[in-house]
């Protein structure tokens, strides 16, 4: 059985960083590819043949954004995150049977904001404004084009009969229409939310739910 693995990049990196810790660009790329291969040899099923790994993400932007804590404009092209992301994508490009599908980040919505867990501590009065530090802020930017590319690739793989199975690594519910289309075309559609909670009604639109590493459990 030929299998295509589709990875929501921003979602995977966020979950992997929390569950497995921070890593170098090369180590994170190696980790992702190794994880995808575990889906091909899942217990209880015949080993599948890898058609291709599709990785969806947005390259970091080079815009200058105002940082409310530092009270100055930050050049994002000179940050550690920019260099790490660029090196990470270059490592993935070297991997066999990996295709990058890049969208873009809206520069209009680009901003620094307080991390959600820090906001909760502020609301519970466990922290005060004076306790905030630079690391309590995170850069946010709205992705554009990623969900559309995932949907188009699912449709193309299904209509052209290029695979018999699709594994989608994502925690987003926007894939439902594409999943329904793939299943109507006879595709075995597996969702891997990396143990993130999904809406109960999503189960009727997929053929299976699995995560291959218990370390992703909360």
As a whole number, the mean pLDDT across the chain is 91
Q: How many domains does the chain have?
A: 1
CATH code for the domain in which residue 209 is found: 3.40.50.1010
Tens-digit pLDDT profile for residues 109-145: 788 899 888 999 999 999 998 999 988 988 887 888 8
Question: Which residues fall within 8 angstroms of residue 73, CB to CB, at 6 or more apart?
Answer: 64, 65, 66, 67
User: Can you tell me which residue has the tokens 């209880």?
Assistant: 44
Spatial separation of the C-alpha atoms in residues 142 and 194, rounded to whole Å:
22
Angle between helices 9-20 and 25-40 (to 10 degrees): 100
Q: What is the mean pLDDT of residues 73-93?
A: 92
Contact 38, 7 (CB under 8 A): no
Is pLDDT above 90 for 206? yes
pLDDT category of residue 44 using cuts at 50, 70 and 90: low
Identify the domain containing residue 19 by its residue range: 2-216
């Amino acid at each position: 059985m030929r299998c295509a693995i589709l990875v929501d990049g921003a979602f995977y990196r966020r979950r992997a960083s929390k569950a497995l810790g921070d890593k170098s660009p090369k180590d994170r790329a190696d980790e992702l590819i190794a994880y995808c291969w575990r889906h091909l040899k899942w217990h209880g099923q015949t080993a599948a043949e890898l058609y291709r790994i599709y990785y969806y993400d947005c390259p970091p932007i080079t815009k200058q954004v105002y940082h409310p804590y530092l009270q100055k404009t930050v050049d994002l092209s000179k940050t550690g995150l920019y260099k790490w992301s660029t090196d990470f994508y270059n490592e993935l490009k070297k991997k066999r049977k990996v295709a990058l599908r890049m969208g873009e980040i809206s520069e209009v919505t680009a901003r620094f904001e307080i991390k959600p867990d820090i906001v909760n501590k502020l609301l519970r009065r466990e922290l005060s404004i004076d306790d905030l530090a630079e690391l309590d802020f995170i850069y946010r930017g709205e992705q554009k084009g990623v969900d559309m590319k995932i949907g188009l690739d699912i449709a193309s793989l299904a209509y052209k009969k290029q695979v018999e199975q699709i594994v989608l690594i994502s925690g987003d519910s926007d894939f439902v229409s594409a999943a329904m289309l793939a299943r109507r075309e006879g595709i075995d559609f597996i969702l891997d939310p990396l143990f993130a909670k999904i809406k109960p009604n999503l189960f009727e639109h997929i053929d299976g739910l699995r995560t291959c590493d218990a370390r992703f459990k909360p």
